Amino acid sequence: MAAEADLTAARPVVFRHGTVLTMDDAHRIERDADVLIEGERITAVGRNLPVPEGTVEIDASGGVVMPGMIDTHRHMWQTAMRGYGADWTLTQYFVWNYLQWGKSFRPEDIYAGNLLSAIEAIDAGVTTTVDWSHNLHTMEHADAAVDALTEVPGRFVFGYGNIQAAPWEWSALPEFRDFVSRRFSGGGTDMLGFQMAFDIPLDSPDFREKAAFEVARELGAPVTTHAGVRGATGDNGIRLMYEHGFMTPATIYVHAASLSPDSYHRIAATGGHASVSTESECSAGQGYPPTWKLREHGIGISLSMDTSVWWSADLFSAMRATLSADRAREHLEAHNRDETVTHHKLRAEQVVDWATRGGARALGLDSVVGSLEPGKKADVVLIKNDASPAMFPLLNQYGHVVFQAGRGDVHTVVVNGRVVKHDHRLVGVDLGKARAVVGQTVEYLKGALGPQAWDEGMHPEIPEVRVIDNPYTYTYTQETDQA
C-alpha cells in the first residue's frame, strides 16, 4: 500500500491490473489494465504500461477503475442539515427554507455545509460537483461558500443564487459584479467554474427574470434553472426562455420533469442538458423522474442528488434509482397497454455514462474530464473492496457499478492528478474541521429555531391513512368463540 507521503508528493501515479471503464466514445473496457497519471493529466491507458521512475503504484486488481463521477446540481449549503428533512415533501422544504428558516443561515453556516458537502463528494468518488448555492443573501455568504470549495481538493462549479431575493434584483447589484470579478475573473477555471442559478416561477407574466439572463449572457455564465417542477416551474418558463433566446447548449434544466412535449422539443433543439435527481423526484414530487421522456426526445442527461437534507450524496444511489425509475415507468406504460416488456431499453452502461460523460457534457467540460483517455485531466475513481462479499465475481462491469457497488467501495479517488482518497481513507483533507464547524451550525440553528420548531420541522404531521375495508377479513363473533 502506498504511504501517504508518497501520495502527496506530486509523483506520477499508476493504477495497475484493474478493469478499466474508459467511458470513451466507444465505451471501451480494458481488462487487467493500467491507468497512468502524470501531473494533472492521464498520459496512458493500457496493459503493462512502462512508467517513470518514482511512480506511485496502486493495485487495482479485483477493482473497477472509472472516471470520477459528476453531480450537476447539489445545494451544498444544506449538508449542514443532513437528513433533517428525510420525511419532507417539496412543499415542506419550500416552507422551511424559503419562508421560515433559510434566512437564519449565517455565512459561517453556508461555509460549514459547503465544506462537509465538498468533502463528502470526493469521498464518494464525485470529483466534480455543481454547488447550486441559492441562499446567498449577502456577499459574505457568497464568499464563505466559495472559501469552502477552495479548501477541498475537488472540482466544483459554483452556481450563484439567492432564494431570498428575485434574480433581477440580486444580479443587478454592483457587489454581485464585484464578487464575480474578484472570485471568477475570466469566467473561472476548470477546477472552479461559474454559473448563475435561478428559476422562473409558473406565474411570471412580465418575465422580469429576463434581466438576470442578460447579466448571465454578458458575464458568459451558463444558467442552471429548476425547470419542470410541478407546482413551481413549468412550460411557461421554457417558452419565455426560448422566445427571448436564452436557451443555449450551456443551459442546464434541473429535474425537467412534468414538462410538455413542446418544452422537451425546445430543450432538445437548443442543445441544453437535463440534470435528473431521481431520489429527489421520487420523494419530493417535482414529477416522475423524466429520463424515460428525455431519452425519447434526445435530450442530454446528467445526474444529480439535489440535497443532503433528504438524500444520499453519492451517485451510486443516483444511478441505481435512475435505472430503476426508468424501467419501472417502462413496465408501467407497457402494462397500461396490456403489453409486457421483454427487453429493457435502458442499460446500466448508459446510466454510468450519464454519471460521468453526461455531466461533463452538461458542464461544457467534456474535453477536460468525464472519461479515462490520454490527455484528459485525471479525475479517476477506483472501486475496490477486498473485504466485501459484493465485489466478486465481477462479471458485468456496468451492472456491478450500478447495482452492486456503493460509496463504501470507493477505494481511491484522484482529482486533477492529485490523490485525495486512498485505501478508503481521505488524504490531505481535514474532516475534523468540517465536523467542528457543522456541529457549531447545528447548535446555532437549534437555538435559533427553538426546540419545538426544530422538532416539528423534522417530523411533519402524518396525514391519516385509512386502511381499505377487506371483504375477506375474518372476524370473531360470539358464536365462533363459543364453538
Question: Contact positions toward Zn ion, by CB under 5 A?
Answer: 306
Contact 313/121 with Cβ under 8 angstroms? yes
How far apart CA 13 and CA 173 sit, in angstroms, is: 46
* DSSP SS3 for 413: strand
CB of 132 to Zn ion, least distance (A): 6
Nearest to Zn ion of 84, 398 (CB atom): 84
Nearest to Zn ion of 306, 379 (CB atom): 306
Nearest to Zn ion of 149, 276 (CB atom): 276
Nearest to Zn ion of 279, 306 (CB atom): 306
How far apart CA 454 and CA 437 sit, in angstroms, is: 19
Burial environment of residue 142 by CB neighbours within 10 A (0 to 12, 13 to 18, 19 or more) = buried
CB of 142 to Zn ion, least distance (A): 18
CB of 272 to Zn ion, least distance (A): 16
CB of 277 to Zn ion, least distance (A): 7
- Which residues lie below 8 Å from residue 359, measured CB to CB, with a gap of 6+? 69, 70, 71, 72, 128, 302, 303, 365, 370
Nearest to Zn ion of 291, 385 (CB atom): 291
CB of 254 to Zn ion, least distance (A): 6
Nearest to Zn ion of 229, 382 (CB atom): 229
How far apart CA 315 and CA 363 sit, in angstroms, is: 17
Cell (9 digits) for 146: 466559495
How far apart CA 152 and CA 164 sit, in angstroms, is: 27
Nearest to Zn ion of 198, 246 (CB atom): 198
How far apart CA 208 and CA 217 sit, in angstroms, is: 15
Number of helices (H), then strands (E), in the chain: 17, 17
Burial environment of residue 330 by CB neighbours within 10 A (0 to 12, 13 to 18, 19 or more) = middle
Nearest to Zn ion of 226, 422 (CB atom): 226
Nearest to Zn ion of 153, 222 (CB atom): 222
Q: How far apart are the first and last CA of the chain?
A: 74
Element (H, E) at 196: strand 192-197
Nearest to Zn ion of 56, 157 (CB atom): 157
CB of 137 to Zn ion, least distance (A): 17
CB of 241 to Zn ion, least distance (A): 18
Contact 267/247 with Cβ under 8 angstroms? yes
Contact 74/60 with Cβ under 8 angstroms? no
How far apart CA 245 and CA 250 sit, in angstroms, is: 13
CB of 301 to Zn ion, least distance (A): 16
- Name beta bridge partners: 126: 69
CB of 10 to Zn ion, least distance (A): 36
Nearest residue to Zn ion, by Cβ distance, number only: 306
CB of 127 to Zn ion, least distance (A): 20
DSSP string, 13-62: EEEEEEEEE--STT--EEEEEEEEEETTEEEEEETT----TTPEEEE-TT
